Amino acid sequence: MSEPVGVGLIGMGSIGLRHLEAISALGGVRLVAASGGTATALAEAGQPDARYCAPEEVLSHPEAEIIVLCTPSGLHGEQALAALRANKHVVVEKPISVDVASAEEIVRLAAQRSRFVSVISQRRLEPQNQYLKRLLEEGSLGRPILGETFCHWHRDDEYYAHATWRTEQHSGGGSLINQGLHSVDLLAWLLGPVTSVTAQYATLGREMDAEDTTVATLRFSSGALGLVGTTTAAPPGRPAALALFTSAGSLEFANSDVVRWDVDGVPGPSDQTAGTAGSGASDPRAIGLTGHLTQWCDILTAYRTGRQPAVSAQDGLDTVRLICGIYQAAETGREVTMEVGR
């Protein structure tokens, strides 16, 4: 048996604790250092032997081979670059950064240092989405015509008061980049790449700097079109929705559950996929653990074999580039052409 992979964790809010759950559930990995939250939280999470210290000490810990970033979104870019400069591999919660420039620098530095960066995009790895991707690539679903994704969620006053960055646009607090990113990432991964976008956004549910409602249209290189809608001002909140319309039929999902599958001659995904992804529609703590476990298994395999992880720094950059393009379209009122093939 090889030695367990040492992991350092920066940020122990609700999503950081989710990563602690995943690490604790997997063999061949151990938490060696962590910052944020409390030392008591580490013990309660079953990691009493991990060193509780400052973020810079986590980065420099000699046994931390992979650094996990679960901090506020606006810190991701700077901290990912710091981890790469410390010659660590990096796992970063979405988004990889809140701006394109730092995301591009992460991709460049990771390649230069021969280190990987994996962005948490667990929805790509859910069984029903892997099945959809395979059907689309082999042509079994025909020609894509329209893709729709809607994130009609609700976040209450307590959620925003708990962390003020969630109210700030420049810190990544908007409904598109914070709550809707997984939905947009999934749609673009299935049907992309995206060649142009138009959009509008507004703050309608409460007084704050960040948008809480965004709508966008997408044009894909295949010629297919897309619709995106995100909001955190829609109580009580509904599961994230994905619908695809193709020349062979149509299908719709609510999270991992099949709502409709009307494609002649092509079976839908196994019923075993139902309910595998918890819904964060009204409570971010309700997001299931299955996706994080699956992605962590892939990350550990990538580390041990030297291959790139299933979701790479380039994937994270592509999604941030698309999100920022949507924001630019909303702010300018103009169609924004996306860079394709980079």
For 303-342, the pLDDT digits (tens) are 999 999 999 999 999 999 999 999 999 999 999 999 875 5
Q: For residue 280, give both structure tokens.
A: 């964060």
Q: What three-state secondary structure class fits 149?
A: strand
pLDDT at 272 over 90: no
- Residue from 279, 246, 12 nearest 136 by CA: 246
Cβ pair 278, 288 in contact under 8 A = yes
Q: Could you tell me which residue, 13 or 281, shows the higher pLDDT?
A: 13
Residue 282: both structure tokens together? 């009204």
Q: How far apart are CA 286 and CA 126, in angstroms?
A: 16
- What local confidence, expressed as pLDDT, does residue 271 receive? 65
**Predicted pLDDT at 282:** 55
Taking only the tens place, the pLDDT of each residue in 117-136 is: 999 999 999 999 999 999 99
CA 241 to CA 328: how far, in whole Å?
A: 24
The least confident of 8-12, 45-49, 99-103, 175-179 is: 45-49
pLDDT of residue 330: 98
pLDDT at 317: 98
Higher pLDDT, 28 or 330: 330
Strand 213-220 relative to strand 225-231: parallel, antiparallel, unpaired?
antiparallel
Look at residue 121 and give its three-state secondary structure: coil
Can you give the pLDDT at residue 288?
66
Q: CA–CA separation, 257 vs 274, rounded Å? A: 5
Measured over the CA atoms of residue 159, residue 16, residue 25 and residue 290, the dihedral's sign is positive
pLDDT at position 270: 84
Indicate the pTM of the whole model.
0.94
Better pLDDT: 277 or 86: 86
Best CA proximity match to 219, nearest among 200, 201, 192, 243? 192
Condensed to tens digits (0 to 9), the pLDDT of residues 170-181 reads 999 999 999 999
Compute the C-alpha angle 56/57/59, nearest 5°.
Answer: 65
Q: How confident is the model at residue 246 (pLDDT cuts 50, 70, 90)?
A: very high
Q: Kindly state the greatest CA–CA separation across the chain.
A: 58
105-109: long-range pairs with CB below 8 Å, 24+: 105/77, 105/81, 106/77, 106/80, 106/81, 106/313, 106/316, 106/317, 107/313, 107/314, 107/317, 109/81, 109/84, 109/85
- Average pLDDT on 78-95 reads 98
What does the mean pLDDT of the chain come to? 94
pLDDT score, position 341: 56
